[in-house]
Structure 1
Amino acid sequence: MVTQAFIFFRYSGFCIHLRWAKAKAKNDENFKLDFVSFWKRRIIRLYPAYLVTLAICLSIQYFRGELVFSSFFVWDIVSHILMIHNFDARTVYSINGVLWTLAIEEQLYLAYFLLVFLREKFGWKYTMLICVLARIGWFALAFALNKFIGYQLPVIESSMANWCIWALGAVSIEAMLGIIKLPKWMSSISIGCLFLILAATVQLIDLKLGNTGIFNKFTWLVYQPLWGFGFFVIINRFVKSEINWFKEKATHYSNKNYTIKFWAFVGVFSYSLYLTHEIILDFVKSPIILAVLICLLFSWVFYLIFEKPFVQYLAKK
């Protein structure tokens, strides 16, 4: 798993928890986290572009003669449509190598309602402990299934293994809005970098030891949370700095800064970019700069056709 995923999961938790946190900060007693409404919006917003991506990938495999029509093919399709392909080591990377993170996201959206319940009942201290225990429990389940029935249950690609990282994003937004107060060291660049260095060191030692033995199992258990917590601390600092910056600087500066405007523009179609970049890179063997430009252009067109109409539909509701 690339380290960028840990930033992505943390930001996802941050964004999904934003509405609840804003209502909490305003003491809005009328706000209700509605399960049906929440999922209706998620499906309309994310699912159409996802299905189109699946169709494109399968079409490419068909014309390349790579598809084998069998019972496994049916399971592969069904598991991807239901977004449970990260429960099977054979399907987790099968159709498109980046779609496993979307399965994690959908499952974490389900777990979000449990997360809010735990947070309200026990507070963040014990909720985070439960999230960490869920990770340990998933590792234990995967080990037991492999040992006793030979089933390979993906571990680091699972939602429960990444729940604690995702929950850190929810903690961050509450801290930003003043609902909770974090210790100062949780927004220290040096502390955050220390955790990132520790995560990299653990993985490097494991590599030097041949990725085997007890230390390898220990590495698999701790390296994701170490990366996730390191980014959590650093991004907390960035958020603080950004808030202070906007207090001191005129907001029109960002409107005149073309670098900020460019990345804001890319952010609009970043979901389409994520869905399609592997497809493009599989065909384009050009120098990296040209390949990136082609990815950006294709994903922007993809966004306009398969994503933007649904974004606009939700905006009207």
Structure 2
Amino acid sequence: MALFLGMTALTTGIDVTHFFVYDVVMHVLMLHNLDPQTCYSINGVFWTLAVEEQLYLAYFLLLYLRNRWGWGPTLIICGLARVGWFFFCHYVWLATGAGVPVPEAAASHWLTWALGAIAVEAAFGLVQLPKWCRNVWLGSVAVVAASAISVILPLIQKDTFVHDSAWLLMHPAWGFGFFILVNRAVQAEKPWLTTLRRPRLVTGFASLGVFSYSLYLTHELVIMQSWWFTVEWLPPMLNTLLIVTPATIAFAWLFFQFCEKPYMRRTAGADDRSRGQEREAALEPRVLSLKMNAESERTGGRGRRQEQEEEVPLEPRVLALRMNAESEI
């Protein structure tokens, strides 16, 4: 926020009014998504930070509901919270004339937040999901349906049952679709972890994903200031692809290095334990397979002495496998 305010002061100037102070205080308290005048004022993407912080505060309630009734009833309650917030904002508007943001509220996205929590539990084996929760076709249909609703929604007359119903379904459709696609992606990663290999294309995108949150926070600033460094004689599309996009990624990487990464470091002991657990988890299938093959070679009526003789080359093979795997890691 300080970076955006600084750039605003250097370019257009800042007029310190009562609203400006109110706007900054609302952003500091992470409540700016509750007022349509402050929701998109400083940075158009900051409203999602307020939603995120409010959903973190509601995590205690989410875990309480999950532990007491399970994920099924909890998802229903999260969905009802979205509907309830819609009617609450509508009542406030009818009673006072004040507009309360609906799609920017935390209650509107509690259901998709809960789906993300289920996906994490499934990834760690805490819950078992049915196969259709990893069906790419079903997830793609949900994403396409959400995309179609987002395109058609502005064309539908407001304050109608069709418009309101479509809006209520749009964000859950997005969340449900990507919930399935993420589950499928996590399942696809398991063979890569077993073989200690990862496709190069995935590695490249993963390196970008490391600082994707910084990219999300800063991309609007770079785009707004891109008029400083774009080339006038280039077409707009080429300016976007060749200049603005690389500049946006480069600035996000710098922001990540200085403003995000320093707060992500763990202690050396925790890092060593984590790496050791990852090595053991990755080595276990291959070492187990090797030992099973060696045991099958020893069977077939051979004597105890022959088994001991054949056990000698097993250790070097296991040791070599571990050394190769550690070098790959």
State TM-score, norm by structure 2.
0.73
| % identical equivalent positions | 39
Specify the SS of the correspondent of 1:75. Answer: helix
Deviation of residue 244 (structure 1)?
3.8
Query: What does residue range 172-211 of structure 1 map to in structure 2 within 5 Å?
Result: 172-211=119-158
Cα distance between partner residues in 1 of 2:184 and 2:222: 35
Cα distance between partner residues in 2 of 1:293 and 1:236: 30
Cα distance between partner residues in 1 of 2:158 and 2:215: 33
> Contact 1:195/1:229 (CA < 8 Å) preserved in 2?
yes
> Contact 1:206/1:212 (CA < 8 Å) preserved in 2?
no
Specify the SS of the correspondent of 1:114. Answer: helix
Structure 2 equivalent of residue 292 of structure 1? 245
Structure-2 change in CA distance of 1:136 and 1:316 (3 Å): farther
Cα distance between partner residues in 1 of 2:174 and 2:152: 15
Deviation of residue 265 (structure 1)?
2.5
Cα distance between partner residues in 1 of 2:268 and 2:33: 31
> Contact 1:206/1:215 (CA < 8 Å) preserved in 2?
no
Structure 2 equivalent of residue 281 of structure 1? 223
Q: What does the per-residue CA deviation read over 1:31-72, in whole Å, with 9 as the maximum and x for residues that have no partner? A: xxxxxxxxxxxxxxxxxxxxxxx1121122223335332211
Specify the SS of the correspondent of 1:69. Answer: coil
Specify the SS of the correspondent of 1:312. Answer: coil
Q: What does the per-residue CA deviation read over 1:179-209, in whole Å, with 9 as the maximum and x for residues that have no partner? A: 2222222211121122223323334443443
Q: What does the per-residue CA deviation read over 1:2-47, in whole Å, with 9 as the maximum and x for residues that have no partner? A: xxxxxxxxxxxxxxxxxxxxxxxxxxxxxxxxxxxxxxxxxxxxxx
Which residue type is aligned with residue 62 of structure 1?
A
Moved more, 300-309 or 273-282: 300-309
Cα distance between partner residues in 2 of 1:206 and 1:306: 38
Deviation of residue 260 (structure 1)?
3.3
Query: What does residue range 1-317 of structure 1 map to in structure 2 within 5 Å?
Result: 54-65=1-12, 67-211=14-158, 213-247=160-194, 250-251=195-196, 253-254=197-198, 257-285=199-227, 286=230, 287-289=239-241, 290-312=243-265
By relative contact order (CA 8 Å, sep 6+), the higher-ranking structure is 1
Cα distance between partner residues in 2 of 1:177 and 1:212: 43
Structure-2 change in CA distance of 1:150 and 1:105 (3 Å): same
Cα distance between partner residues in 2 of 1:201 and 1:302: 35
Which residue type is aligned with residue 211 of structure 2?
F
Structure-2 change in CA distance of 1:305 and 1:202 (3 Å): closer
Structure 1: 5+ residue runs without aligned partners?
1-53
Deviation of residue 296 (structure 1)?
1.6
> Contact 2:153/2:167 (CA < 8 Å) preserved in 1?
no
Cα distance between partner residues in 2 of 1:258 and 1:206: 39
> Contact 2:146/2:173 (CA < 8 Å) preserved in 1?
yes
> Contact 1:132/1:164 (CA < 8 Å) preserved in 2?
yes
Deviation of residue 268 (structure 1)?
2.6
Rg larger in structure: 2
Cα distance between partner residues in 1 of 2:151 and 2:258: 44
Which residue type is aligned with residue 186 of structure 2?
V
Structure-2 change in CA distance of 1:201 and 1:313 (3 Å): closer
Structure-2 change in CA distance of 1:81 and 1:235 (3 Å): same
Moved more, 92-101 or 268-277: 268-277
Structure-2 change in CA distance of 1:268 and 1:200 (3 Å): closer
Structure-2 change in CA distance of 1:149 and 1:208 (3 Å): closer
Which residue type is aligned with residue 78 of structure 1?
V
> Contact 2:62/2:74 (CA < 8 Å) preserved in 1?
yes
Structure-2 change in CA distance of 1:136 and 1:212 (3 Å): closer
Moved more, 208-217 or 178-187: 208-217
Cα distance between partner residues in 2 of 1:220 and 1:129: 18
Which residue type is aligned with residue 265 of structure 2?
Q
Cα distance between partner residues in 1 of 2:255 and 2:120: 31
Deviation of residue 214 (structure 1)?
2.4
CA RMSD of aligned residues (A): 2.1
Cα distance between partner residues in 2 of 1:264 and 1:238: 13
Which residue type is aligned with residue 229 of structure 1?
F
Cα distance between partner residues in 1 of 2:240 and 2:152: 31
